[in-house]
């Protein structure tokens, strides 16, 4: 991991070094010059427009336009030359190697899934958005019927689990909690992922994080979660949990170990301890706020809509169940013992 990061840093350093050596005319046009035109649809058209707010928050923005489009001159676009484009593999060589060897590579190039001007880190993308990306090619209904052939409650799984949680590898999974909102305003409208603007209407001018993080300490306690879930005024808002990977492998495939439900469902209360609240940002990305350890295992109000059979069972309920079962044993054992000791009385009575 450290070697990969070092390699990447050297590559980026090298690119910057080459840029420094390039003729001064090349540097005369900087990223802000590019954006002067490319943030305006009227000037460059829909295909070439770049949403400045979204691009500025990508890791690519830090590199500047020239890093990837090095052939651009000050004469652009009057020179009529198509600007050069860096290959993704120039920097992301490890991902490229993994992806090139996958079945997926024959059907989609990097750009088919990732727009470099909008690219976000894994945790800045909601589980819902991850799936929308997959559904662009793998049509939703077809996937649902395909999964129904073997997966119990396939519709629930497909709507509540990012495809990549099963179709890529990760060492760690966490529970990401997203705020969803009842859409149509009617009593039984569907709940959908709440946008930044929608959440703003609920937060009374405060940062939307404080809808859940009541004391604004960037840490969501179990008590705060319960308060959010019990707050009647916020009934239009609910928390939806998804099991999301912390890292993605790019060898997207049918992973043999995921046919076994217990890959996700057999972790027991020892796992599923880590969860985050994923909050919509104004640029469409998501930021994470740490949630108290073990909150999703709370028996009732921590995450009332999130339950993974087997994996998020409550220890408190287990003990209550045990007491009830033990109660059922009292009569057989207690009565049975006295029955055995007094068996002579019944024989005498029969005589």
Enumerate binding residues for another protein (CB under 8 A).
152-153, 155-156, 159, 188, 229, 238, 260-262, 265-268, 298-307, 309-310, 313-314, 317-318, 320-321, 324-325, 327-329, 331-332, 335-336, 338-339, 342, 345-350
Nearer to another protein, 24 or 324 (CB): 324
C-alpha distances out from residue 103 to 107, 150, 158, 188, 214, Å: 8, 22, 22, 42, 47
In the complex, the smallest distance separating the C-beta of residue 206 from another protein, rounded to whole angstroms, is: 26
Are residues 301 and 221 in contact, defined by beta-carbon separation less than 8 angstroms? no
Q: For residues 165 and 125, give the distance between their C-alpha atoms in angstroms, rounded to a whole number.
A: 13
Q: For residues 146 and 51, give the distance between their C-alpha atoms in angstroms, rounded to a whole number.
A: 37
Q: Give residues with Cβ within 8 angstroms of 289, minimum separation 6.
A: 209, 212, 213, 218, 219, 220, 276, 277, 279
Are residues 127 and 242 in contact, defined by beta-carbon separation less than 8 angstroms? yes
Q: For residues 253 and 136, give the distance between their C-alpha atoms in angstroms, rounded to a whole number.
A: 17
Place of tokens 């301890």: 273
Nearer to another protein, 54 or 303 (CB): 303
Nearer to another protein, 78 or 349 (CB): 349
In the complex, the smallest distance separating the C-beta of residue 339 from another protein, rounded to whole angstroms, is: 7
Name the nearest CA neighbour of 159 among 143, 174, 146: 143
As a residue count, the chain comes to 351
Which of 159-194 are b and which e, b meaning 16 or more Cβ less than 10 Å from the residue's Cβ?
ebbbbbbbbbbeeebbbbbbbbbbeeeeeeeeeebb
Are residues 274 and 175 in contact, defined by beta-carbon separation less than 8 angstroms? yes
Nearer to another protein, 17 or 319 (CB): 319
Strands (E), 140-265: 173-182, 191-193, 219-220, 237-245
Nearer to another protein, 80 or 327 (CB): 327
């Amino acid at each position: 991991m450290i070697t990969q990061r070092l390699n990447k840093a050297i590559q980026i350093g090298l690119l910057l070094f080459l840029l420094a050596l390039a003729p001064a005319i090349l540097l005369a046009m900087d990223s802000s010059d590019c954006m002067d035109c490319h943030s305006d649809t009227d000037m460059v058209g829909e295909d070439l427009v770049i949403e400045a707010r979204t691009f500025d928050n990508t890791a690519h923005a830090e590199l500047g336009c020239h890093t990837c489009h090095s052939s651009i001159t000050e004469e652009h676009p009057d020179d009529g030359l198509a600007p050069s484009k860096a290959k993704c593999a120039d920097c992301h060589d490890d991902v490229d190697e993994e992806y090139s060897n996958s079945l997926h590579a024959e059907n989609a190039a990097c750009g088919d899934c990732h727009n470099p001007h909008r690219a976000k880190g894994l945790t800045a993308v909601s589980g819902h958005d991850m799936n929308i990306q997959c559904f662009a090619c793998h049509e939703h209904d077809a996937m649902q019927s395909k999964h129904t052939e073997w997966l119990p409650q396939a519709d629930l799984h497909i709507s509540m689990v990012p495809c990549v949680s099963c179709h890529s590898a990760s060492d760690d999974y966490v529970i990401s909690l997203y705020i969803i909102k009842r859409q149509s305003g009617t009593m039984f409208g569907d709940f959908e992922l709440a946008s930044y603007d929608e959440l703003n209407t609920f937060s009374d001018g405060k940062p939307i994080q404080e809808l859940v993080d009541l004391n604004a300490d960037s840490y969501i306690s179990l008590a705060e979660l319960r308060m959010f879930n019990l707050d009647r005024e916020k009934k239009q808002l609910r928390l939806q949990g998804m099991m999301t990977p912390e890292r993605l492998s790019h060898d997207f495939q049918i992973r043999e170990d995921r046919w076994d439900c217990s890959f996700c469902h057999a972790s027991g209360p020892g796992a599923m301890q880590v969860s985050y609240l994923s909050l919509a940002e104004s640029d469409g990305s998501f930021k994470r706020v740490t949630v108290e350890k073990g909150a999703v295992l709370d028996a009732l109000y921590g995450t009332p809509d999130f339950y993974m059979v087997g994996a998020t069972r409550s220890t408190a309920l287990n003990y209550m169940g045990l007491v009830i079962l033990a109660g059922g044993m009292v009569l057989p054992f207690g009565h049975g013992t006295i029955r055995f000791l007094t068996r002579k009385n019944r024989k005498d009575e029969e005589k």
